[in-house]
């Protein structure tokens, strides 16, 4: 499940910085990582370390968006906590999908809405409870961010 801690958190890592120095080229072969790249950056993984961006042309993984890099780190390193504030709202659906696959904990410092998620289920660490209702989620989030 996706575990969310709202507000400042000391041990939350900044995804893009981690990604740039720690990513494993093998990750790019994973269909779910390719889906992240496709959904968020509208880009296609080509081969090796080449990604085809509709805006920037052929780019290395280091030039993926901060949101895509953070999602990949959350997906590949579920044992670490990342600050998903670097993920825009267009990352919310796939972030929730990651949470459906494995237990991950993220830090959030803005109101990320999950409007495109059909069945919301997140664990809010600040209140130690599971939330499945969108309005409940929003009213809870705005208390902390």
Partner 1 sequence: MTGSYHIVVVNATSKYELDIKRNITILKGDSATGKTVLVDMIRDYVSNGPDSGIMLSCDIPCRVIDGNTWEEQLSPINNSIVFIDEGNRFVSSEEFAHYVREGKNYYVIVTREKLSNLPYSVTEIYGIRGSGKYNDMVPVYHETYHIYEEYIRNLQAGECITPDVILTEDSNAGYDFFNTIAHNNSGNIECRAAGGKSNIYGSVIHAHDHSVLIIADGAAFGAEMERICELIHSGADLHLFLPESFEWLILNSGVIKDISKDEMEHAENYADSEKFFSWERYFTHLLTQNTIGTPMAYSKTRLNDYYRSSNITKRILATVQGIDFHYESRV
Does 41 engage in binding with partner 1 (CB under 8 A)?
yes
Work out which of 111, 129, 133, 136 binds partner 1, going by CB under 8 A: 111
Task: Quickly count helices (H) and strands (E) in the chain.
Answer: 5, 8
Does 97 engage in binding with partner 1 (CB under 8 A)?
no
Does 61 engage in binding with partner 1 (CB under 8 A)?
no
Work out which of 17, 34, 38, 125 binds partner 1, going by CB under 8 A: 17
Q: How many CB atoms sit inside 10 A of residue 77's CB?
A: 18
Work out which of 1, 30, 88, 120 binds partner 1, going by CB under 8 A: 88
**Counting Cβ atoms within 10 Å, is residue 9 exposed (0-12), middle (13-18) or buried (19+)?**
middle
Work out which of 23, 27, 33, 65 binds partner 1, going by CB under 8 A: 65
Binding segment toward partner 1, per CB under 8 A, in 10-18, 23-31, 99-107, 116-124? 10-18
Instruction: Write out the two tokens for 91.
Output: 């990352």
Which residues neighbour 118 within 8 Å (Cβ) at sequence distance 6 or greater? none
Shortest Cβ 111–partner 1 spacing (Å): 6
Query: Sheet holding 122-124: strands in order across?
Result: 82-83, 104-108, 2-6, 122-124, 129-131
Does 87 engage in binding with partner 1 (CB under 8 A)?
yes
Residue 93: phi, psi to the nearest 5? -65, -45
Which residues contribute to the site for partner 1 (CB under 8 A)? 14, 16-17, 40-42, 53-57, 65-68, 83, 85-91, 109-111, 113, 135, 138-139, 142, 145
């Amino acid at each position: 499940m996706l575990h969310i801690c709202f507000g400042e958190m000391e041990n939350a890592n900044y995804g893009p910085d981690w990604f740039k120095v720690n990513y494993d080229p093998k990750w790019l072969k994973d269909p779910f990582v390719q889906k992240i790249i496709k959904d968020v950056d509208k880009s296609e993984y080509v081969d090796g370390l080449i990604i085809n961006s509709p805006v920037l042309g052929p780019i290395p993984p280091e030039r993926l968006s901060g949101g895509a890099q953070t999602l990949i780190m959350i997906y590949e390193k579920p044992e670490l906590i990342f600050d998903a504030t670097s993920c825009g709202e267009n990352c919310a659906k796939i972030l929730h999908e990651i949470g459906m696959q494995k237990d991950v904990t993220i830090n959030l410092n803005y109101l990320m809405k999950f409007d495109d998620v059909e069945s919301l289920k997140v664990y809010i660490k600040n209140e130690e409870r599971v939330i499945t209702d969108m309005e409940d989620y929003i009213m809870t989030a705005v208390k902390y961010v």
